[in-house]
Amino acid sequence: MSAQDKALDDKEERLRLTPVKGSNQVHVRGFNERLILNLIRQYDQLTKAEATRATGLSPNAVSMIFRALEDENLLLREEPIRGKIGQPSTPLRLNPSARHYVGFKIGRRSFDLVVIDFTGKILARRTSQHSHPTPVAMCAFFKHEIRSLLRSAHLRRDDIDALGVAMPSELWHWTDDFDAPKTEMEAWRDFDVASALHKILPVPISIENDGTAACRAERVFGPHTLKQDVIYFFIGTLIGGGIVLNGSVYVGRRGNSGGFGPLRVPDEPGGHRLIDHASLVVLEKLVAGEGHDPSAIYDEGFDWSALEPALSHWIARAARSLAHAIVSTLSVIDFEAVVVDGALPEECRGRLLREINSELAKLDLQGVMHPDLSSGHFGTVARALGAASYRIATDFMIDQNALHLGAAK
């Protein structure tokens, strides 16, 4: 069997196992369109026959949906595939230029601004570092950079469909943990971020927790699997993350699901919270203690091997605490997988993952299953990318948690 035939067989099997099916009733056409778009985003391209088999919809219903999505300029036709018998089949793929979104991460140590197309490709990016963020500095950065960002992407302001903002919830808190002046950070408490940014870029604006946004980027644009329930940790200046339930990001009642920082971890000098060990502020202090500049870790071009031996010390410490946190979360919900991402180089994420696996092997896992543990795929840019993906997820994808909630009502 050739590699191409094996890939097609694997695709057929995964399509057969698609956990969500469509309905042939006319009044759920919007749901069915989202389902088709979900599948095309997952498999890059899809024929009508493949969509029919995966969704359970009738061939006529699938044809109508494909036609409607083409008419909306959301899909493009590929070259027909000619088989040995029958009519050639024509795959369809997402139209990259169908929509464009700006994502803006407001972080404790940096700003990150991106513009993406409908497939999630980053067309341009701008970043800036700081010791702590202020509303004035945030507005100045956005106003100064948005014009050159769009120019680099060959876009006009009218081409932007929405702006997504990712930022820590209650940014004015946790100041002691990252050595920020309380009086300046307090300005965020009553500051209307959406209103301020809308004056600069008048498009629909969404704001969500930065860990949730990073989790959304992984779910929307990362390698797609059939895993439906996932824990996602994101290591930044502090630590947070997100939760995937029933195949969709679960934000929680206040939008803070996956705020893992306060999780208790045992037997670790320096504090009893996950944030006290698996955060970059901890690495900052270790690096500073060895006489190096801690701000260098937020420079994406910096070689982290220069941080030894502090880096190895931090990885071991973070891994021990994350292993305990993983077991704790698994005891609450039977998650299938754990993803660990963060604002650190890919090689360091790999080292951390191996160390976590080693620590998990030492723990008593009675009553919980050892999860499928993997590294995230977007690193530092995940939060801005996730912010940009918000409207893709809400307008063109299926949120199974919202469906279940609606059914319960």
Cα 13 to chain center, whole Å?
Answer: 26
Tell me the CA distances in angstroms from 70 to 46, 282, 292, 300, one per residue in order. Answer: 13, 51, 56, 39
Residue 123 to residue 397: CA distance in whole angstroms: 22
Task: Round to whole Å and give the CA distance between 161 and 58.
Answer: 33
Asked whether 205 and 163 are in contact (CB, 8 A), the reply is: yes
Confidence of residue 371 (pLDDT cuts 50, 70, 90): confident
The pLDDT > 70 percentage for the chain reads 89
What the chain holds in terms of domains, given with CATH numbers, is: 3-94 (1.10.10.10), 98-213+386-396 (3.30.420.40), 223-376 (3.30.420.40)
pLDDT tens column, 217-243: 999 999 877 789 999 999 999 999 999
Is the pLDDT score of 97 beyond 80? Answer: yes
The amino acid that residue 288 corresponds to is A
Per-residue confidence (pLDDT) for residue 2, from 0 to 100 = 60
360 and 340 Cβ atoms separated by less than 8 Å: no
Average pLDDT over residues 106-130: 97
The rounded distance, in Å, linking the Cα atoms of 231 and 248 is 12
pLDDT at 115: 98
For residues 229 and 339, is the Cβ–Cβ distance under 8 A? no
Nearest to 48 by CA among 81, 25, 20: 81
pTM above 0.75, yes or no: yes
Residues 173-224 have pLDDT tens digits of: 888 888 888 999 999 999 999 999 999 999 999 999 999 999 999 999 998 7
Q: What pLDDT score does 253 carry? A: 85
- In tens, the pLDDT along 133-173 reads 999 999 999 999 999 999 999 999 999 999 999 999 989 98
Looking at residues 256-283, what average pLDDT do you find? Answer: 92
**Residue 79: per-residue pLDDT:** 85
Choose the weakest-confidence range: 23-37, 41-55, 178-192: 23-37
Q: Report the distance separating Cα 320 and Cα 316, nearest Å.
A: 6
Average pLDDT, the chain: 90
Between CA 330 and CA 337 the distance in angstroms is 9
Q: Per DSSP, what are the bridge partners of residue 129?
A: 110
The confidence band for 27, taking pLDDT boundaries of 50, 70 and 90, is very low
Residue pair 368/332 in contact (Cβ under 8 Å)? The answer is no
Q: Is 195 exposed, middle or buried (0-12, 13-18, 19+ CB in 10 A)?
A: exposed
Q: Please choose, from the candidates 265, 263, 221, 266, the residue with its C-alpha nearest in 3D space to the C-alpha of residue 239.
A: 263
Residue 267: per-residue pLDDT: 76
Helix axes 59-71, 29-43, angle to 10 degrees: 80
Q: Which two structure tokens, joined as six digits, stand for 171?
A: 């940014």
| pLDDT grade for 84, boundaries at 50, 70 and 90 | low
Predicted confidence at residue 29, as pLDDT, reads 47
Burial class (CB in 10 A: 0-12, 13-18, 19+), 31: middle
Query: By CB neighbour count within 10 A (0-12 exposed, 13-18 middle, 19+ buried), where does 103 fall?
Result: buried
Q: Which of 224, 110, 237, 229 is nearest to 176 (CA)?
A: 237
Q: 56, 22 in Cβ contact below 8 A?
A: yes
Query: Does residue 309 have a cis peptide bond before it, meaning omega lies within 30 degrees of 0?
Result: yes
Find out whether 276 and 283 touch, Cβ atoms under 8 Å: no
Note the pLDDT of residue 221: 95
Cα 302 to Cα 343: distance, rounded to the nearest angstrom: 12
Please list the alpha-helical segments (H only) found in 153-279.
182-185, 193-200, 210-221
Mapped onto helix, strand or coil, the DSSP state of residue 171 is coil
Two tokens, residue 95: 């139209």
